[in-house]
Chain A
Amino acid sequence: MGRITLDKVSKSFGDVNVIPPLDLTIDEGEFVVFVGPSGCGKSTLLRLIAGLEDVSGGQIRIDGRDATETAPAKRGLAMVFQSYALYPHMTVRKNIAFPLKMAGMPQAEQDAKIEAAAKVLNLSSYLDRRPGQLSGGQRQRVAIGRAIVREPAAFLFDEPLSNLDAALRVGMRMEISELHEKLKTTMIYVTHDQVEAMTMADKIVVLQAGNIEQVGSPLDLYHSPRNTFVAGFIGSPKMNLIEGPEAAKHDATTIGVRPEHLDVSAASGLWKGRVGVSEHLGSDTFFHVHDTGLTDVMTVRSIGDVAMRHGDTIYLTPQADKIHRFDAAGLRIA
Chain B
Amino acid sequence: MARAVTNQRKTFNTALAWGIGLLIFFPILWTFLTSFKTEAAAIASPPQFLFFNWTTENYGVVLQRSNYFLHFSNSVIISVGSTVIGLLIAVPAAWSMAFVPGKRTKDVLMWMLSTKMLPPVGVLIPIYLIFKSVGLLDSRIGLIIVLTLINLPIIVWMLYTYFKEIPVDILEAARMDGASLRNEIIYVLTPMALPGIASTMLLNIILAWNEAFWTITLTTVNAAPLTTFIASYSSPEGLFYAKLSAASTMAIAPILVMGWFSQKQLVRGLTFGAVK
Q: Are these two chains actual partners, yes or no?
A: yes
Instruction: List A78-117 residues whose CB lies under 8 Å from chain B.
Output: 78-79, 81-83, 85-89, 98-99, 102-103
Q: Please state if A99 and B172 are interface contacts (CB–CB under 8 Å).
A: no
Instruction: List A298-325 residues whose CB lies under 8 Å from chain B.
Output: none
Q: Which residues of A contact B177 (CB under 8 A)?
A: 73, 78, 98-99, 102, 146, 150
Main secondary structure of the interface of B (DSSP, over half): helix
- Is residue A6 contacting chain B, with contact meaning CB distance below 8 A? no
Q: Please state if A85 and B178 are interface contacts (CB–CB under 8 Å).
A: no
Contacts A83-B167, A87-B170, A102-B183 given; indicate if A73 touches B176 (C-beta within 8 A): yes
The 8 Å CB contact of B175, one of A73, A86, A146, is: A73
Q: Which residues of B contact A72 (CB under 8 A)?
A: 172, 175-176
Q: Which residues of A contact B170 (CB under 8 A)?
A: 85-88
Q: Which residues of A contact B70 (CB under 8 A)?
A: none
Q: Please state if B178 and A102 are interface contacts (CB–CB under 8 Å).
A: yes
Q: Please state if B192 and A85 are interface contacts (CB–CB under 8 Å).
A: no
Q: How far, in whole Å, are A50 and B180 apart by their CA atoms in the complex?
A: 15
Q: Please state if B172 and A81 are interface contacts (CB–CB under 8 Å).
A: yes
- Is residue B84 contacting chain A, with contact meaning CB distance below 8 A? no
Q: How far, in whole Å, are A71 and B175 apart by their CA atoms in the complex?
A: 8
Q: Please state if A87 and B188 are interface contacts (CB–CB under 8 Å).
A: yes
Q: Which residues of B contact A74 (CB under 8 A)?
A: 178
Residue of B nearest to A47 (CB): B172
Chain A residues bordering chain B, tally (CB within 8 A)? 23
Residue of A nearest to B166 (CB): A88
- Is residue B169 contacting chain A, with contact meaning CB distance below 8 A? yes
Q: Which residues of B contact A134 (CB under 8 A)?
A: none
- Is residue A252 contacting chain B, with contact meaning CB distance below 8 A? no
Contact with B along A35-57 (1 / 0, CB 8 A): 00000000000000010100000
Residue of B nearest to A14 (CB): B103
Residue of A nearest to B167 (CB): A83
State how many angstroms separate the Cβ of A151 from the closest Cβ of chain B. Answer: 12
Q: How far, in whole Å, are A83 and B187 apart by their CA atoms in the complex?
A: 19
Contact with A along B237-258 (1 / 0, CB 8 A): 0000000000000000000000
The 8 Å CB contact of B169, one of A73, A81, A98, is: A81
**A residues with CB within 8 A of B:** 50, 52, 71-74, 77-79, 81-83, 85-89, 98-99, 102-103, 146, 150
Give me 20 other A-B pairs in contact (C-beta within 8 A), A78-B176, A79-B172, A87-B173 excluded: A50-B176, A52-B175, A72-B172, A73-B176, A73-B179, A74-B178, A77-B176, A81-B169, A82-B169, A85-B173, A87-B170, A87-B192, A89-B191, A98-B174, A98-B177, A98-B179, A99-B178, A102-B180, A146-B173, A150-B177
Task: List the 8 shortest-distance A-B pairs measured between CB atoms, nearest first.
Answer: A85-B173, A85-B169, A99-B177, A102-B178, A73-B178, A79-B176, A89-B191, A72-B175
**B residues with CB within 8 A of A:** 167, 169-170, 172-180, 183, 187-188, 191-192
10 contacts between A and B (CB under 8 A): A52-B176, A72-B172, A79-B172, A79-B173, A82-B169, A86-B173, A102-B178, A102-B180, A102-B183, A146-B177
